[in-house]
Amino acid sequence: MSVDAAVLVAFIPAALALNLTPGADMMFCLGQGLRAGPQAALAAAAGVSAGGMVHVAVAGLGLGAAVAAAPWLFEVIRWVGVAYLLWLAVATLRAGPARPDLPAVRTGRAFWQGAMVNLTNPKVILFVLAFVPQFVNPDRPVLPQFLIFGAVLGVGGFAVNGLVGGFAGGAGQRLMRSAGFARWLGRISAGVFVALAARLALAPRG
C-alpha cells in the first residue's frame, strides 16, 4: 500500500475537520441547493470534489509548485474565477424567480459549475501543497499518495457539502411555494455568488 495505515488514520480526522470548515465550496453548494434543489446540490458537491482531485493530481505531479512560484499565473486563475462567479450571479438574476414548477437544473450542469468554482480557485492548489505533503512519505511514490489523500478529502467534502446543500435544497423547495420567497431566493443565490467572487478577489496573495 502506498500509504501506511497509521498515517491514513491520522489523516482522516484532519481532513474531516477541514471539510467541516465553511468555505467557498460549501457556500456554493448551499446556494445551489437553495436555488435548484437537493439533486443539483449533490451534483455540485460531486463537481467540487472532482475539481479537488484535479488540483491534487496537478500538485502530485509537481506542477503546483509552478503556480506557487509564479504570482502572475495565480492572479490569472483568480480573476478567471471571479469573472465566472459573477457570470453565475448575472445568469441567476436573469433566470427570474425560482419556482417549483420550473424545469430542474440539469445535474450535469450543476456538476460542471461546481468543478469550475473549485478549479478557478488557486488557493485550493496552494492549500493542497501546504497540507498534503505533511503526510507524504518521500521514500515512496509521491503521486499515488497524493491521490489517496485527495480521495479522502474528496469523499469527505462530497458528504459534507452534499448534506449542507441537500438540506438547504429541501427547505428551499418547500418555501418556494411562496411567490415572495421565490423572488428573494433568486436574489439570495445571486448574492452568494457575488460574495464568493468578492472573497476570491480580496483574498491575500500567495
pLDDT, residue 186, reads 64
Residue 165 contacts residue 82 (beta carbons within 8 Å)? no
pLDDT, residue 144, reads 87
pLDDT, residue 46, reads 95
pLDDT, residue 180, reads 59
CA-CA distances (angstroms) from residue 142 to 24, 61, 62, 107?
28, 8, 10, 34
pLDDT, residue 102, reads 42
pLDDT, residue 131, reads 76
pLDDT in tens, 162-179: 988 888 776 655 555 555
Give the chain's residues under pLDDT 50.
98-103
pLDDT, residue 60, reads 82
What values do phi and psi take at 103, rounded to 5?
-60, 140
C-alpha cell at 26: 460549501
Residue 22 contacts residue 153 (beta carbons within 8 Å)? no
Q: Is the dihedral of CA 63, 21, 87, 101 positive or negative?
A: positive
pLDDT, residue 103, reads 45
